[in-house]
Amino acid sequence: MISVRFRGGCKNYYFDPKGHTVKMGDQIIVETAQGPEFGTCTQGNHEVADEAVVQPLCAMLRLATDADRRTVDYNRKKESEAFDICEKKIADHGLEMKLVNVSASFDGSKIIFFFTADGRVDFRELVRDLAGVFRARIELRQIGVRDEAKMVGGLGICGRPFCCSQFLDGFLPVSIKMAKTQNLSLNPTKISGTCGRLMCCLKYEQNAYEDAQKRMPKQESFVQTPDGPGNVKAVDLLRETVKVSLDSAPETQKCYHNCEICVLRNGKGSREGIEIPTERPERYVEEKEEEFIAPVISRHFEAEEPTETPAPVRERPREEGGESKNRRRHRGGRRHRGGGGGNAGGTPSAE
C-alpha cells in the first residue's frame, strides 16, 4: 500500500499502487469515490495489516505530470473566484450563513461550498444561481465551528498552529470533567480554543492524570504521616504530593510525598472505628544532585590548574631611607610637573 494525504486534510488514506514505486513526497493522481483526485504520498510502498484496510480499496492512477499541476493551479484560481461570487449571491438572497471555504474537484465537474449557520438554511435558490454561473455540479455543505477552525487554521493560545489543522486525524471527545481532573481553571476563556469549544489538548494528558488519580488519596482523606495522623487538604497529581493538616498542628499544612502517607480512610467520613497504627511511614529522601555534580566540578577545576608553577616575583631592594627607586622617581616626577618642568613621560628633565 501507499499512504496518501489530500489538500487541507491531516488523515492518511491507503491506496493500491498498482505496481508503481512511489516515494514519500511524490504527487500522484488517485481514483476516489468522487472521481480522480490530486494527492501527496506521505509513505511509500509498505505492508499494511488486512484489518486496517477499508474496502473497497481504490487504486493509484499515475504519477502527477506538469499538466496535472497546471490543472491544480487553475482550480485554485477558480475556487477563489467562486468564493467571491458566492458571497455576493448570499448577500443578494439575504441568507444568514457564513461562507468558509470552496473546494473544486480535480476534473472540475463538482464544486463544494462549505458554510456555517446557526440553524437550517433554505439555499435552493442559491444553488440554482451558482449552477448557472459555473456550469458544474454545486454542493453546499454545512459544517460546525470546529470544522471551520480546521479549514481556516490559525494560532492557539499556546502560540502554535491549531492541532486540528496540523496533525489530528479527527476531533477528540473532550469534556469539562477533564479540566477538573487536571486541576485547571474552569474559566471558559482559558480552556476554550478559538473555535469556542473546549481545547483538544485537554485529551492528551488525561490518561496520565487518571492513572495518578488512582494512586493518590482524595481530599479530606484520613491518613497517617511520619509526623502523625491528619486530613488531606490538597492533592497535586503531577508531583504526587499532598498537603496534610495534622491533628497535632491543625493551623498549618505540611507537604508529603505519596509514599510517605498511609491512607486510613479515603475521602470524607467519620473516624469512628478506624484504628491508628503506631508505626509511622518512613520519610521520603530525594537523591541530591550535588552528589553527581561535585565530581564533574572537581575535574573541571583540575583541568584549569596551570601545569607549571610560575616563578615567585622578587621585590626590588629598597634603598637607604626606606623608599624604592621607582617610588622616589614618581615623587620627583610629580614635583617637576607641579613646578612646570619635566617632559611628557614624567621623568625629571636635566637642569
Rounded-to-integer distance, Cα 82 and Cα 134, Å: 8
* pLDDT score at 43: 87
Element (H, E) at 328: helix 325-338
229 exposed, middle or buried (CB, 10 Å; 0-12, 13-18, 19+)? buried
Higher pLDDT, 316 or 217: 217
DSSP 171: P
DSSP 104: E
Longest C-alpha distance within the chain, in Å? 119
* pLDDT score at 314: 52
Question: For residue 40, what is its C-alpha cell?
Answer: 501527496
DSSP 271: -
DSSP 347: P
Write down the domain spans for the chain: 2-64, 71-143, 150-203, 216-265
Tell me the CA end-to-end span of the chain in Å, nearest whole number: 105
Report the SS3 class of residue 326.
helix
Residues 166, 168, 174, 179: is their CA dihedral positive or negative? negative
* pLDDT score at 330: 44
pTM, full prediction: 0.66
Mean pLDDT of 52-70: 87
pLDDT in tens, 239-286: 889 999 998 888 889 999 988 889 999 988 888 888 888 888 888 876
* pLDDT score at 346: 42
Superfamily of segment(s) 71-143: K homology (KH) domain (3.30.300.20)
* pLDDT score at 270: 86
Mean pLDDT of the chain: 81
User: What CATH topology corresponds to 216-265?
Assistant: SH3 type barrels. (2.30.30)
pLDDT at 91 over 50: yes
Higher pLDDT, 34 or 312: 34
pLDDT in tens, 10-45: 788 889 888 888 889 889 999 888 888 999 998 888
pLDDT in tens, 317-337: 454 444 444 444 444 444 444
Rounded-to-integer distance, Cα 17 and Cα 178, Å: 42
Rounded-to-integer distance, Cα 39 and Cα 23, Å: 13
pLDDT in tens, 142-194: 999 999 999 888 998 888 999 988 888 888 889 999 999 898 888 888 899 98
pLDDT band (50, 70, 90) for residue 111: very high
Question: For residue 344, what is its C-alpha cell?
Answer: 611628557
